[in-house]
Amino acid sequence: MPSAAASEKGSESGPPQGSFCFRCIGCGSVTHLAAQDFRCAQCGNLLEITDPAWKSLDAATLKSVWRDRRASNAMLDRSGVWRFRELLPAPATEQQVVTLREGNTPLYELPQASRTTGVPRLYAKHQGLNPTGSFKDTGMTVAATFARQAGYRWVACASTGNTSASMAAYAARGGMRSLVLVPDGKISWSKLSQALDYGALTCQLRTDFDGCLRLLQELVRRAPVYQLNSINPFRLEGQKTLALELMEQLDWQVPDHVIVPGGNLGNSSAIGKALLEMREIGLMARLPKLSIIQAEGANALVRTLRETGGKRLVSVQAETRATAIRIGNPASWEKAVKVLQATDGACEQVSELEIAQAKAEIGAEGIGCEPASAVTLAGLKKLLHLGFVKREESVVLILTGNLLKDPDFTMDFHRGSLFQGTAHEGGSTELKPFRHPPVVLDATLDAVIQALDQAEKSDRTHSNA
Ligand code: F0G
């Protein structure tokens, strides 16, 4: 059994060093200590971090301090998360910070998708360009910092792959051991291989993500391991910086829509929290609409809103090739419902075929992403169709993971085998124009020139179509 190095901290996550506190999202009770399961001792709901000092920050000063730090080489300023530290819980000392210089991700135009959707002001914030290839790093730097500060030897998470890769990396950097619980056979090899390389104790459990998370919740009550799932509110504080950085990149011009994938619903909750805090401080005058998109086969939030008006979670047995969001019992659903309500956002679902096409389209922009991220472009098309997004409005898609995170999906798609033997097989012929399968040739000049000619011909056919 793992043991906590600083046993005097007991089962608490350690006293906060700044003035921040934990507030229950259900009953609103405020505490300075959180139990290991990060649930309210009064009502059992999730906690969020807040700091009364944030309200009195001056917007103009913050903007100028954050901009100036971009020219600094100091460790904390090089991190695209800690650069915004005025809106983060403060660790005891700067030396405590575990960072891989996360954040600082680009905001791209999407010229081809702009043309096909008819939305000229369409952007993608690519969180897949973080150190371990996903948005998880922005939250992990904060949560790993507080885990180390509290003296934990072991950190742990349940994961569909990206959290485990990120946690294992930050644990390694922070001198901690990491325990990973992943569903056997249902995460991509590239994510699993990251956890192995970063030295995690990796357990492939014969269950799904929801089963892994349930087990982890029991484990943290029994063993002194620090849980780094997005139930951990420190994670969400770090993930808030995505929205701060985005606004800075847009010169503080508020976009009309931000569209994000929804799995366990931590990220949408974090972005929404940041938007509300920014408005309160005066960093932005109005809120963008934050919309959450799920895969049809993992649509717990969509069903929760449609069937109960957001009052009670409708769990589903999740199934999708976008394995990062193969989640049926999202932990942060209540936080996400509040965010949708506060920002007037929409929640939609997209099919496996729509996800595959959108992923290929983002790839064709020269940036690429993993399948779970592509739900954003697929979702945008749906929201345009529904009239929720207007073509003259500005839209930011949040791409959450790197193209290289799921090479099997990409290879199967281009070879035409992604939907073989599934219910989607018939419809998948429509995706043919988006496929670029490799061609195996004799090593002769003639063969390569012939391949070039053929590619030219097919390009011309498609551009005339
Ligand atoms: N996109 C990617 C690439 C993800 O890895 C995840 C979640 C999401 C979107 C959904 O974000 O859960 O905050 O709503 N991946 C988690 C994991 C669950 O274990 O890596 P969410």
Q: How far apart are CA 280 and CA 440, in angstroms?
A: 59
Quote the ligand 1 centre to 72 CA distance (angstroms). Answer: 31
Q: Quick check: CB of 130 below 6 Å from ligand 1?
A: no
Weakest mean pLDDT among 33-42, 110-119, 304-313, 442-451: 33-42
Q: What angle do CA 120, 124, 130 make, to 5 degrees?
A: 165
Does the beta carbon of 261 sit less than 6 angstroms from any atom of ligand 1?
yes
Query: Atom of ligand 1 at shortest distance to CA of 267?
Result: 13
Per-residue pLDDT band for 6 (boundaries 50, 70, 90) equals very low
Question: Sorting pLDDT into bands at 50, 70 and 90, what band is 463?
Answer: confident
378 pLDDT band, cuts 50/70/90, is very high
Section 172-189 average pLDDT: 96
Ligand 1 neighbour 183 (Cβ under 6 A): no
Kindly give the distance from the C-alpha atom of residue 10 to the centroid of ligand 1, in angstroms, as a whole number: 30
Cα 372 to ligand 1 centre (Å):
8
- Predicted pLDDT of residue 427: 86
Q: What is the mean pLDDT of residues 108-115?
A: 98
Mean pLDDT across 166-185: 97
Token couple for 338 = 């509040």
Q: Which residue has the higher pLDDT, 155 or 4?
A: 155
Ligand 1 centroid to Cα of residue 36, in Å, is 22
Q: For a pocket test of ligand 1, which of 126, 162, 231 has the largest count of ligand atoms closer than 8 A to its C-beta? A: 162
Taking the CB of residue 308, how many other CB atoms lie within 10 A of it?
Answer: 12
**Angle between helix 162-173 and 189-197 (nearest 10):** 10
Q: Enter the pTM of the model.
A: 0.95
Tell which atom from ligand 1 comes closest to the C-alpha of 260.
9
Q: Check: CB of residue 270 under 8 Å from CB of residue 236.
A: yes
pLDDT band at 19 (very low <50, low <70, confident <90, very high): confident
Closest ligand 1 atom, CA of 401? 3
Q: What is the pLDDT of residue 36?
A: 87
Best probe residue, ligand 1, of 227, 325, 337 (max atoms within 8 Å of C-beta)? 325
Q: Distance from the CA of 316 to the center of ligand 1, in angstroms?
A: 17
Top mutation candidate among 125, 126, 134 for ligand 1, by most atoms within 8 Å of CB: 134
Quickly count: other Cβ atoms within 10 Å of residue 213's Cβ: 22
Q: Give the closest residue (by CA) to ligand 1 atom 12.
A: 264
State whether the beta carbon of 80 lies less than 6 angstroms from ligand 1. no
- Mean pLDDT throughout 230-252? 98
Task: Please give the number of the atom of ligand 1 that sits closest to the Cα of 264.
Answer: 12
254: its two tokens? 């508020």
Residue 288 token pair: 């963008």
Residue 320 in contact with ligand 1 by CB distance below 6 A: no
Question: With a 6 A CB cut-off, is 230 part of the ligand 1 pocket?
Answer: yes
Number of CB atoms found within 10 A of residue 75's CB: 13
Does the Cβ of 192 fall within 6 Å of ligand 1?
no
* pLDDT of amino acid 465: 66
Instruction: Write out pLDDT tens, residues 30-64.
Output: 999 999 899 999 999 999 999 999 999 999 999 99
| Ligand 1 proximity of 102 Cβ (cutoff 6 Å) | no
Residue 462 is predicted with a pLDDT of 75
For residue 132, pLDDT over 70 is answered with yes
Residue 220, pLDDT above cutoff 50: yes
